């Protein structure tokens, strides 16, 4: 409001307007979205397929809100598959019914049905994302969640000229539901993807895809905030822009102490905000923005390809409306780390630190009520009678937490808990430590079979938790990006080899550890996290490599109600889907 206008307004009108602004800042507003799940024909890599989308787009629509806003999303299912959507990283305080994982917090939305996801974005700001949370449908049903700070609250870094979502995806020419179905039938690994994508586009390094390239046009000297999201199904990714550096300022919608890198690593489920400052002069060149996988798994079990978008500069000597991309300019490519460069990943993640400032403190639990030790890794199941399996030595591939491969129930866990009808749905005896300890990162045991079950771990309200997650060498050491629903956690320590409960805790960072919702358990190592169980409900925790989650690398926490009304799970909405 300019001074000429404001001076003409009566004082009581100005006061009312100021009061209304303060109320909006304090309470937020309600934002409504309609998400229609529908099939769409999409052509990539010279092949057309019909696939599940939201509103006919891939990536789907961006959901934007401010910290404190209420978000209401009506999801209508117009496809033959059951569907749910998960708002990845949104805390869902007391609103677990809106979290989205199928058979954990809700039964899926069936064909022709609708469900309204209703939640408040409280105490969070930054980049998150949404995706389907049933089978492998998130391959094509995903999009950005952008949470702006409250009105009038600046970023803790210089405001960028422009903000751009950059979403990494993974593309199969085949139907991903057929891919996972075949893998589960054969007991072996699924067919790997045909390409990675940036904002749905494979780019010039893939066959038939030069016309499907993401291009970012920048002005010299301006700063851009890239909201990076790894929505790939099964691959952690390195990312770099040729001849440019980026400054990391946020991960998983939590500000971090800024640091500048040429290359970063981002796991499925994770988000990273970076500032890219364009060169102060016109460089007369174009630059690849490239991403390629990080993996320590056996070759052939993951997609080993590179996706590229193009960074191009607006030419100050040409009109802005002129065709922007000039093919004749030199094109620079970044050098990405080696495929299995675990040292790079370790050094990058070690630099992530919370701001730990007065405005954005790091509320690390200083004392711990319950300590848990979970192994996470691969395993096998016996091949069913009269079938042939393609897993190791004729077995079925499996994965487990503390040797329990989690079986999804046929009724939703949260409703079973809320109604007190849990018998036959789940057990509350998830093991707090491995039942049969072994040398986790040494020579694997001869028996690699895992147990199966639907087991929960129960926590009283406000329990402070320390959890150590230990990778195992069974069928090969691998990095596992573990995602916890319903909470952020602090990454207080990590290391290689077997966790030592006597010596390792003395090295924990309890001052400014990074706070996030998805963390990589290092290949052949361990990670320690702390969180406060102050959100009642049933909360899924799983590997965000879709193939590992399908094989059973998942479990759930049941956080009980507290004594106060504000510490209790709200009742379910009337339109909650039925199984």
Residue 277 has which token pair?
């400052």
Asked if 191 and 239 touch (Cβ cutoff 8 Å), the reply is no
Does position 207 have pLDDT exceeding 70, yes or no?
A: yes
59 preceded by cis ω (within 30°)?
Answer: yes
Task: Report which of residues 13 and 212 the model is more confident about.
Answer: 212
**What confidence score (pLDDT) does residue 317 get?**
86
Please state whether the predicted TM-score (pTM) of the whole model is above 0.85. Answer: yes
Task: Report which of residues 244 and 11 the model is more confident about.
Answer: 244
Does position 2 have pLDDT exceeding 50, yes or no?
A: no
Q: Per-residue confidence at 14, pLDDT binned at 50, 70, 90?
A: low
**What confidence score (pLDDT) does residue 4 get?**
40
Does position 178 have pLDDT exceeding 90, yes or no?
A: yes
Percent of all residues in the chain with a pLDDT value above 70, rounded to a whole number? 94
DSSP secondary structure code for residue 395 in this structure: -
φ, ψ for residue 408, nearest 5 deg: -65, 135
Q: Per-residue confidence at 402, pLDDT binned at 50, 70, 90?
A: very high
**What confidence score (pLDDT) does residue 16 get?**
55
Round the average pLDDT of the chain to a whole number and report it. 95
Instruction: Tell me the CB-side half-sphere exposure of residue 320, using CA atoms within 13 A.
Output: 4
Reduced to 3 states (helix: H, G, I; strand: E, B; else coil), residue 250 is strand
State the sign of the Cα–Cα–Cα–Cα dihedral 250, 255, 256, 257: positive
Q: What is the DSSP string of 119-152?
A: EE--S--EEEEEEE-STTGGGTSEEEEEEEPPTT
**What confidence score (pLDDT) does residue 6 get?**
40
Tell me the pLDDT tens digit for each residue of 408-418: 999 999 999 99
Does position 19 have pLDDT exceeding 70, yes or no?
A: no
Tell me the pLDDT tens digit for each residue of 426-475: 999 999 999 999 999 999 999 999 999 999 999 999 999 999 999 999 99
Tell me the pLDDT tens digit for each residue of 254-301: 999 999 999 999 999 999 999 999 999 999 999 999 999 999 988 777
**What confidence score (pLDDT) does residue 319 get?**
72
Q: Measuring CA to CA, how many Å separate 25 from each of 68, 123, 127, 158? A: 8, 12, 20, 22
Cα separation, 137 vs 175, in Å, equals 10
Tell me the pLDDT tens digit for each residue of 139-170: 999 999 999 999 999 999 999 999 999 999 99
**What confidence score (pLDDT) does residue 303 get?**
84
Asked if 224 and 218 touch (Cβ cutoff 8 Å), the reply is yes
Reduced to 3 states (helix: H, G, I; strand: E, B; else coil), residue 228 is strand
Asked if 229 and 146 touch (Cβ cutoff 8 Å), the reply is no
Cα separation, 124 vs 286, in Å, equals 36
Residue 283 has which token pair?
């460089």
When pLDDT is averaged across residues 110-115 and rounded to a whole number, the result is: 98
φ, ψ for residue 537, nearest 5 deg: 145, -170
**What confidence score (pLDDT) does residue 320 get?**
65
Asked if 551 and 87 touch (Cβ cutoff 8 Å), the reply is no
| End-to-end CA gap in the chain | 53
Burial of 195 (0-12, 13-18, 19+ CB in 10 A): buried
Asked if 446 and 352 touch (Cβ cutoff 8 Å), the reply is no
When pLDDT is averaged across residues 534-539 and rounded to a whole number, the result is: 98
């Amino acid at each position: 409001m300019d001074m000429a206008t404001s001076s003409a307004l009566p004082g009581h009108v100005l006061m009312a307007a100021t009061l209304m602004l303060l109320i909006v800042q304090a309470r937020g507003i309600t934002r409504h979205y309609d998400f229609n799940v529908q099939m769409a024909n999409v052509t990539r890599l010279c092949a057309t397929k019909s696939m599940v989308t939201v509103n006919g787009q891939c990536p789907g629509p961006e959901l934007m809100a401010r910290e404190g806003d209420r978000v209401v999303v009506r999801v209508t299912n117009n496809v033959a598959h059951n569907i749910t959507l998960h708002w990845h990283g949104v805390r869902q305080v007391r609103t677990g019914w809106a979290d989205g994982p199928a058979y954990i917090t809700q039964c899926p939305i069936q064909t022709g049905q609708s469900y309204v996801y209703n939640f408040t974005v409280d105490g969070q700001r930054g980049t998150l994302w949404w995706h389907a949370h049933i089978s492998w449908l998130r391959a094509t049903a995903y999009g950005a969640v952008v949470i702006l700070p409250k009105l009038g609250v600046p970023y803790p870094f210089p405001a960028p000229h422009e903000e751009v979502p950059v979403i990494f995806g993974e593309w199969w020419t085949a139907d991903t539901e057929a891919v996972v179905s075949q893998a589960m039938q054969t007991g072996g690994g699924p067919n790997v993807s045909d390409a990675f994508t940036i904002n749905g586009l494979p780019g010039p390094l893939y066959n038939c895809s030069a016309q499907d390239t993401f291009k970012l046009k920048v002005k010299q000297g301006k700063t851009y905030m890239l909201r990076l999201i790894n929505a790939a199904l099964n691959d952690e990714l390195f990312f770099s822009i040729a001849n440019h550096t980026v400054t990391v300022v946020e991960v998983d919608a939590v500000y971090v102490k800024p640091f500048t890198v040429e290359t970063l690593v981002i796991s499925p489920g994770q988000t990273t905000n970076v500032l890219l400052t364009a060169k102060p002069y016109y460089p007369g060149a174009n630059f690849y923005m490239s991403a390629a996988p990080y993996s320590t798994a056996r070759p052939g079990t993951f997609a080993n390809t590179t996706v590229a978008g193009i960074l191009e500069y607006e030419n100050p000597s040409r009109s802005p409306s002129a065709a922007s991309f000039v093919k004749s300019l030199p094109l620079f490519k970044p050098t990405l780390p080696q495929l299995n460069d675990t040292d790079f990943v370790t050094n990058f993640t070690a630099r992530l630190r919370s701001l730990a400032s007065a405005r954005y403190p790091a509320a690390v639990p200083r004392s711990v009520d319950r300590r848990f030790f979970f192994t996470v890794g691969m395993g096998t199941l016996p091949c069913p009678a009269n079938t042939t399996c393609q897993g190791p030595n004729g077995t079925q591939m499996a994965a487990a937490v503390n040797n329990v491969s989690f079986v999804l129930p046929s009724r939703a866990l949260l409703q079973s808990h809320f109604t007190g009808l849990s018998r036959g749905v789940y057990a509350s005896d998830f093991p707090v430590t491995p039942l049969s300890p072994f040398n986790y990162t040494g020579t694997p045991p001869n028996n690699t079979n895992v147990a199966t079950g639907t087991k929960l771990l129960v926590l009283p309200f406000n329990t402070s938790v320390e959890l150590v997650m230990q990778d195992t060498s069974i069928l090969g050491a691998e990095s596992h990006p573990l995602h916890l629903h319903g909470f952020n956690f602090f990454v207080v320590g990590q290391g290689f080899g077997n966790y030592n409960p006597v010596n390792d805790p003395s090295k924990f960072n309890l001052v400014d550890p990074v706070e996030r919702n998805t963390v990589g358990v290092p290949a052949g190592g361990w990670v320690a996290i702390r969180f406060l169980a102050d959100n009642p409900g049933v909360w899924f925790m799983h590997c965000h490599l879709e193939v590992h989650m399908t094989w059973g690398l998942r479990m759930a926490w049941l956080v009980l109600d507290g004594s106060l009304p504000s510490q209790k799970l709200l009742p379910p909405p009337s339109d909650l889907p039925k199984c």
